[in-house]
Amino acid sequence: MRLISWNVNGIRSAYAKGLVPWVSQARPDILCLQETKAEAGQLKQDLREIEGYSSYFASASKKGYSGVALYTRTQPDDIRYGLGLPEYDQEGRVIIATYRHFVLYNIYFPNGKASAERLAYKMAFYEAFLELVRAQAAQGKHLVICGDVNTAHTQIDLARPKENEKVSGFLPEERAWIDRFLAAGFIDTFRMFNNTGGNYTWWDLKSGARARNVGWRIDYFYVSADLAPKVEGAFILPEVMGSDHCPIGIDLKG
């Protein structure tokens, strides 16, 4: 089973750049999109209902902001939207899909760069999410978590760590939270197979950073430790254009 996650930075923009033909060619079993910036009713039918997939959308109360989407070949047993906390759920950042063998979280985590208030909001969102997945793992749930986490974990996860030590996305408290999340029993799947630098998922558009590969790895697939033996591969697709992020994915056995 192939799962792909992609922050499309506007699903309608990505559609104009060939999103639907790319999905038809890539043929993931599950596709998770973040930062869709649209409601389902604003999408053309061939995007809202990609052939061969069931689709689900979570949108923010603020127009043209945030949002996530799930396209899936296998019908989930259950779909939920949000963390169950109104202060976060109004931004349309979470879809939770329950399948036979795992629970999938598709999440667009907040960005903390805009202000101290947004950084505080991001850190509180992190804590609420961690509390929820810890509880689910304690109940024996097998978890797959993907999306734009908006933080590079270690120095090899961005091209210029020294210059960004005081920038949200690489702050000590943000990185420490990922340490705590991993210590709680979750695995960064890409690092199961690749421990080198130079592998990024986001590049600043204004500076032309992608051509020079001056990027950040801020998009992730995590699994609970009990699912790690079923992860057959993890990958980044930097050659796929259409957003300032690129798709990432995993292959799951069974």
Q: What is the predicted pLDDT for the residue at 24?
A: 97
Q: What is the predicted pLDDT for the residue at 84?
A: 96
Contact status, residue 49 vs residue 92, Cβ threshold 8 Å: no
| pLDDT digit string, tens, across residues 134-158 | 999 999 999 999 999 999 999 999 9
Q: Please tell me what DSSP assigns to residue 49.
A: T
Whether residue 250 is predicted with pLDDT greater than 80 in this model: the reply is: yes
The per-residue DSSP string of 187-201 comes to: EETHHHH---S---S
Domain segments of the chain: what residues?
2-252
If pLDDT is split at 50, 70 and 90, which confidence band does 205 have?
A: very high
Quote the CATH superfamily of domain 2-252.
Endonuclease/exonuclease/phosphatase (3.60.10.10)
Contact status, residue 90 vs residue 61, Cβ threshold 8 Å: yes
Q: What is the predicted pLDDT for the residue at 119?
A: 98
Whether residue 4 is predicted with pLDDT greater than 80 in this model: the reply is: yes
Cβ-Cβ contacts under 8 Å for 243 (sequence gap 6 or more): 6, 7, 8, 9, 10, 13, 14
| pLDDT digit string, tens, across residues 12-63 | 999 999 999 999 999 999 999 999 999 999 999 999 999 999 999 999 999 9
- Tell me the average pLDDT across 215-222: 98
Q: What is the predicted pLDDT for the residue at 48?
A: 97
Annotated catalytic residues are 148
Whether residue 254 is predicted with pLDDT greater than 80 in this model: the reply is: no
Query: What gap in Å lies between CA 182 and CA 234, rounded to an integer?
Result: 17
Distances (CA, A) of 76 to 98, 100, 101: 6, 8, 10
- Tell me the average pLDDT across 147-170: 98
Helical spans, DSSP H, in 19-147: 19-26, 45-48, 86-89, 116-138
Q: Please tell me what DSSP assigns to residue 65.
A: S
| pLDDT digit string, tens, across residues 77-103 | 999 999 999 999 999 999 999 999 999
Only one residue has tokens 């902001």, namely 65
- Report the mean per-residue pLDDT for the chain: 97
Query: What gap in Å lies between CA 58 and CA 89, rounded to an integer?
Result: 9
